[in-house]
Amino acid sequence: MTVHDLVGVGIGPFNLGLAALSAPVPEVDGLFLDEHEEFSWHPGMLIEGTTLQVPFLADLVTMADPTSPYSYLAYLKATGRLYPFYIREDFHPLRAEYDAYCRWVAERVPGLRWGRRVERVEHDGDVYRVSARDMRTGEVEVHLGRRLVLGVGTAPWLPEPLRDLPGPAWHAAEYLPHKEELQTLGHVTVVGSGQSAAEVYLDLLTDADRLGYRVDWVTRSPRFFPMEVTKLTLEMTSPEYARYHHGLPMARRDALAREQRHLYKGISGDLVDAVYDTLYRTGRRGEVPTALLTGVDVSGAEWDAGRREYSLRLHHAESDRTGTRTTRALVLATGYRARVPEFLEPVRDRIRWDARGRYDVALDHSVDVAGREVFVQNAEEHTHSLIAPDLGMGAYRNSVILNAICGREVYPVEEHIAYQEFGLAGSEILSSVGAAR
């Protein structure tokens, strides 16, 4: 059986980027498996007109290799969209365009196997045995790899009281397939505080008047706060900030994650204003069929099948008051969480874990006890902070992973990109808080 140099599990943007960057590397034979039949980027949220939150340079390859044939500019040239993009003068591609770009790359990059769900990983001698089920035939295939790169992404997350609700309640990840139905139910409530919540709310608000339904927005956050995207803050999405953050004690990192929520879990300022402008325009014709509630936690949702409505239990933190509201449908834009896939169970002993049962991720994104055998993509926010989910840092991480796998510099990796120094980097240290791990 062929022993691949690496087997990538999951082909989202990050492992697709790894496949594109490893394709021209002679010593790397990579195989990538995904349970979906084809590349598909958050189809439930490809709302018309929405854009990426990062510039087009955050494509799969450019930050590692600007000459790569798999770049966004190469895609625009090949599809005759380069001049319109040039004239549009907006660095942020439409989300639907980014999805189309990734599909274009996926059609050209070698080593991708679609419709394969990885169900079990074992270790045998010096190779990983990856068992994947062919989603069409149901048959199980076994693939061998010296290394694994886990790019399974994050999973939609629901707070406990809002899980397994009967009736029309969906996570935002499933919004678009249910949009038409939602618009017929008379009253929808969007729950959540981030970009997705705002996008779904605005998309529903735009038609509320015309189609005659009500849409409310409830968020636990004290206000609809904008994501902080000022340039010096953006420098925190950098190799040196990841290094600094990685070097902190775990408890300090976890506290920082809570403090830094507004850096990447807020709403883009333009979108907040677009929501207001839509409220203002709709208000010209009379009362806007909506309510916006901040600082409110939804602590429960009881479905009344007879009346076909939910009774929401609400708690307003600042006034410490509780109350109820009814609605006929729910869109739960409550975020996504990294997860440890069950298929890793047979090789748990080869993986390093932190005191909270999470991957203990090394700076080079490896998580295995031997070092440099198993790598993770977008599962290291708790160690590397902001770079983990950021498309703009995908090519950087893939360069680090490929350099680690090849034991040489396949792609140059910037050590310093920021003008700021994080922690006391560059200073003479008189005392330290001890080892990070």
Ligand X SMILES: Cc1cc2nc3c(=O)[nH]c(=O)nc-3n(C[C@H](O)[C@H](O)[C@H](O)COP(=O)(O)OP(=O)(O)OC[C@H]3O[C@@H](n4cnc5c(N)ncnc54)[C@H](O)[C@@H]3O)c2cc1C
Residues that bind ligand X (CB under 6 A): 9-15, 33-36, 41-42, 45, 52-54, 117-118, 151-153, 196, 336, 341, 343, 377-378, 389-392
Report the nearest approach of ligand X to the CB of residue 142 (Å): 14
Report the nearest approach of ligand X to the CB of residue 125 (Å): 23
Report the nearest approach of ligand X to the CB of residue 191 (Å): 16
CA distances from 437 to 363, 430, 432 (A): 12, 21, 14
CB atoms within 10 A of CB 271: 21
Q: Which is nearer to ligand X, 43 or 69 (CB)?
A: 43
**HSE value, Cβ hemisphere, 13 Å, CA-based, for 69:** 10
Q: Which is nearer to ligand X, 247 or 392 (CB)?
A: 392
Q: Which helix (H) or strand (E) holds 273?
A: helix 269-283
Report the nearest approach of ligand X to the CB of residue 340 (Å): 11
Q: Which is nearer to ligand X, 152 or 402 (CB)?
A: 152
Tell me which residue of 60, 313, 94 sits closest to 199, measured CA to CA: 94
Q: Which is nearer to ligand X, 145 or 151 (CB)?
A: 151
Report the nearest approach of ligand X to the CB of residue 212 (Å): 28
Report the nearest approach of ligand X to the CB of residue 424 (Å): 29
Report the nearest approach of ligand X to the CB of residue 249 (Å): 26
Measured between its terminal Cα atoms, the distance across the chain in Å is 39
Paired with 325 in beta bridges are 312
Residue 395, SS3 per DSSP:
helix
Report the nearest approach of ligand X to the CB of residue 141 (Å): 12
Report the nearest approach of ligand X to the CB of residue 377 (Å): 5
For the chain, the residue count is: 437
**C-alpha 57: how far from chain center:** 17
Q: Which is nearer to ligand X, 41 or 225 (CB)?
A: 41
CB atoms within 10 A of CB 279: 14
Task: Note whether 368 and 147 are within 8 A (CB).
Answer: no
What DSSP string runs through 308-355? TEEEEEEEETTTTEEEEEEESEEEE---EEE---GGGGGGGGGB-B-T
Distance (Å, rounded) from C-alpha 137 to C-alpha 135? Answer: 6
Q: Which is nearer to ligand X, 224 or 336 (CB)?
A: 336
Q: DSSP letter at 57?
A: G
Report the nearest approach of ligand X to the CB of residue 3 (Å): 20
Distance (Å, rounded) from C-alpha 258 to C-alpha 255? Answer: 5
Q: Which is nearer to ligand X, 153 or 192 (CB)?
A: 153
Angle in degrees, 0-180, between the axes of helices 13-22 and 394-406, rounded to the nearest 10: 50
Distance (Å, rounded) from C-alpha 89 to C-alpha 361? Answer: 39
Non-local (6+) Cβ contacts of 5 within 8 A are 27, 28, 29, 30, 145, 146, 147, 405
Report the nearest approach of ligand X to the CB of residue 118 (Å): 4
Q: Which is nearer to ligand X, 288 or 379 (CB)?
A: 379
Q: Which is nearer to ligand X, 51 or 299 (CB)?
A: 51
Residue that has been written with the tokens 């770049």 in this structure: 71
Tell me which residue of 134, 163, 132, 130 sits closest to 147, measured CA to CA: 130
Q: Which is nearer to ligand X, 54 or 312 (CB)?
A: 54
Q: Which is nearer to ligand X, 154 or 299 (CB)?
A: 154
Tell me which residue of 201, 157, 135, 95 sits closest to 336, measured CA to CA: 157
